[in-house]
Amino acid sequence: MVTKRGNKNYLRKGRNYVVGEGSNLRGKEKEKRDKEDRLSNLPDELIHRILSTIDAKSCVQMSVLSKRWRNLWTTLPVLNLQDTSFSDPVLFESFVDHVLSHRDSSTNLHVVNFESYDDLQEGDVVDSIIDYITDTPTVTASIRLLSILADQCVVGSLPDLSLCQSLTTLNLSRICAEATPFEIVSLKSLYLIDCNFECGDEEVLDLFEDCVNLRRLSLHNCNYYGGFQTFRIHAPQLTYLSISWMRIDEMFNSNCDIELFTPKLQHFSYSDSDVYEFSSDEDLLSLEEFNVDVLLDEDTDSLVQLIELFEIMGSAKFVTLSTSIIEVMSMFPDELDGRSSPFTRLHDFKLNKDTPSSSTVVPPKVMAYLFGGSPGFWFNRWKDKNSRDNSEGDPEEFQEALSLQPFFNPRGVRNLTLIVDLHAG
C-alpha cells in the first residue's frame, strides 16, 4: 500500500523503502518484490529442513551464496556425508574432518548419514565420527539416527555409542566390527546389513540383550566369524524381526540354532536358501505377519526345520510363503503325516512366485496341513493380485507394506500373488 506524504511516497508496513515518482512506484515495487530473496527469508529451521536432504558437501558449498548462507552449514542438525560427490577418498576424509571440527558444537545434531563406497585408506573416519558424537555433549544428547555405510571398514568405537541417550535408530552397512553387545538403551531400530562380525569363543551369541527398548531388528546378509552354537535374540519389546542370509564363518552352518525371546513379535520375515533351527520358549501370540522366502533343497532336513518354524509362528494371520516350499512339501507329503496344521488363525495366505508361471498346484494334503487348523478358513478362490476386483487394496500399497523387508522386492519379482480369501462364515 502506498500513502502519499508530501512529495514523497512511502511504502507502508516497513516494506522496501522506495522514494520515487508516484506513477512508477507500483511497477518498481512489484519488480522489487519479485526480485526479493524469499529463500533466505525463510527461518533457519526451514532452511535446515530443506538442506536435510542434500549432501553435506553441497551444503557447505552454499556458504558462498551470500552472507546469510555463510555459516548456515555449521548449525545443520542433519549431516549427509556421502563420498559419491568426491572423486578421492582422501579428500572425502579430510572433508568429514573439516566439517566436524568446524561445526558449531553447541547446536543439536540429530541425524548423521555416512556413506562411503570407496576403500577408505585409513579406515578410521568412521571411528572419528563416532568419537565426535560421543565427545561432544550436545551431540551425544541429541543424536537420534546414525547411519553408516562404510565398505569393508573396521569400526572400533561402536561400544561407545551406549553413551547416546537419544539414539533411536542405528543402521550399519558393510562394516566390520567386533561382536560386542549393543548396549544402547534408547535404541528402537537396529539394521545390520552386509556386516562382518568377529565373535569370540562363547557358545551363545547374544548381541541385543541390553537394547531393552528394541522394537525393530533387521539382520541381512551378516557374517559372524566365530564358534557359537546359538544365536540368541533376546528382545522383550521387539515387534518386527527380519533375518536373511545369515552366515557363520561364511557358511550356512546347520548346527547353529536361533533362539528367540520375543514375546511381542508381530512381524517375522525370513529369507535364505536354507532354514536354521529356530526355537522359542514362549508362544508368539501377537504374531500377525509371517513371511518365508526360501529355496528349499529337495530333501527332508530343511523341510523339517521349516515345519518346526511353522509351529513357532503358528499364530500368524497373514502368511506368505515361496512356491518352492509348496513344491518340496508336495514332494515329501509323508513329513506332514501326524502333524496338525500349524496355523490356527489364518486370515490371508499368499504365495510368492519368483518366476511367472502358469499355476501352482497345491495338493490336497498340503492344503489340509496349511489351512486345516484355522477355523472358518477355507479355500474360496484364487485371486490374481493384479485383477480388477482386488480388494486387497492398491498394488502399490501392497508393495509399500513389503518395502520394510529389503529382500522382498515385489517390484523386481513378477508376482502372481495368489490370494486365498477368508470367507467370513
Partner 1 sequence: MSEIDMAIIKPEMMKPYIWLETSDGSIQQVEQEIAMYCPLICQEIIQKGMGSSKNCAICLPQRVSPAMLSLILDYCRFHQVPGRSNKERKSYDEKFIRIDTKRLCELTSAADSLQLKPLVDLTSRALARIIEGKSPEEIREIFHLPDDLTEVSGACENSEEKLEPLKNATDDPRIRLLNRLYAKKRRELKERERLKNVEAEEEHADERSVDDLLSFINGNGEDPKGIKTSKNKKKNRRKKEQHQKSTSLKEASEVNKKEINGQNIRHQSAEVDRIAETSNSHAEDLFAQKEFDDGDIDDGIDPALKEKIDREVADFARRLNSDWPERMQEFLSSGQEKKTMLFTPNGNSFLRRNACMCYPSVLNDFTYPLYACKLNFHPF
Binding map of partner 1 across residues 235-274, x = CB under 8 A, - = no contact: ---------xx-x----x------------------x-x-
Nearer Cβ to partner 1, position 141 or 368? 141
Which 137-196 residues touch partner 1, going by CB under 8 A?
144-145, 147, 149, 151, 168-169, 171, 173, 188-189, 191, 193-194
Least separation in angstroms between CB 71 and partner 1: 11
**Residue 84 binds partner 1 (CB under 8 A):** yes
By the rule CB under 8 A, 110 interacts with partner 1: yes
The answer to whether residues 122 and 99 touch, using CB atoms and an 8 Å cutoff, is no
- Of 273, 261, 140, 248, the closest CA to residue 197 belongs to 248
Q: Which stretch binds partner 1 (CB under 8 A): 260-268, 280-288, 381-389, 402-410?
A: 402-410
Q: Does 64 bind partner 1 (CB under 8 A)?
A: yes
Beta strands at 111-116 and 176-178: parallel, antiparallel or unpaired:
unpaired
Closest CB to partner 1 among 121 and 380? Answer: 121
Cell of residue 240, nine digits: 518386527
In DSSP terms, which residues pair with 325 in a beta bridge? none
Q: Which of 16, 24, 94, 106 is the binder for partner 1 (CB under 8 A)?
A: 94
Beta strand extents in 353-399 (DSSP E only) = 382-384
- If binding is defined by CB under 8 A, does position 82 make contact with partner 1? yes
221 binds partner 1 (CB under 8 A): yes
Element (H, E) at 190: strand 189-193
Taking CB under 8 A as the rule, does residue 225 contact partner 1?
no
Taking the least distance from each CB to partner 1, the nearer of 280 and 324 is: 324
288-327: contacts with partner 1 (CB under 8 A): 293, 295, 322, 324
Nearer to partner 1 by Cβ, of 84 and 340: the residue is: 84
Output the smallest distance, CB 319 to partner 1, in A: 19
Q: How far is the CB of 364 from partner 1 (least distance, A)?
A: 26
Interface positions, 327-386, toward partner 1 (CB under 8 A): 354-355
Of 9, 113, 253, 341, the residue at the interface with partner 1 (CB under 8 A) is 113
Query: Which is it for strands 204-206 and 176-178: parallel, antiparallel or unpaired?
Result: unpaired
Q: Kindly report the CA angle at 71 between 69 and 76, in degrees rounded to 5?
A: 95
Whole-number minimum distance, CB 59 to partner 1, in Å?
9
Name which position in 2, 39, 204, 368 contacts partner 1 (CB under 8 A): 39
Distance between CA 22 and CA 362 in Å, rounded?
86
CA distance 72 to 122: 30
Report residue 8 CA to chain centroid gap. 63
Site for partner 1 in 14-33 (CB under 8 A): none
Which run of H or E residues covers position 272?
strand 267-272
Nearer to partner 1, 188 or 232 (CB): 188
**What DSSP line would sit under 225-261, residue for residue?**
ES--SEEEEE-TT--EEEEES-EETTB--TT-EEEEE
Instruction: Single out the residue of 18, 60, 212, 367 in contact with partner 1 (rule: CB under 8 A).
Output: 60
Q: Are strands 169-173 and 189-193 parallel, antiparallel or unpaired?
A: parallel
As a whole number of angstroms, the distance between CA 371 and CA 343 comes to 7
Give the whole-angstrom CA distance, residue 205 versus residue 341.
32
CA distance 157 to 184: 13
**CB closer to partner 1 out of 88 and 384:** 88
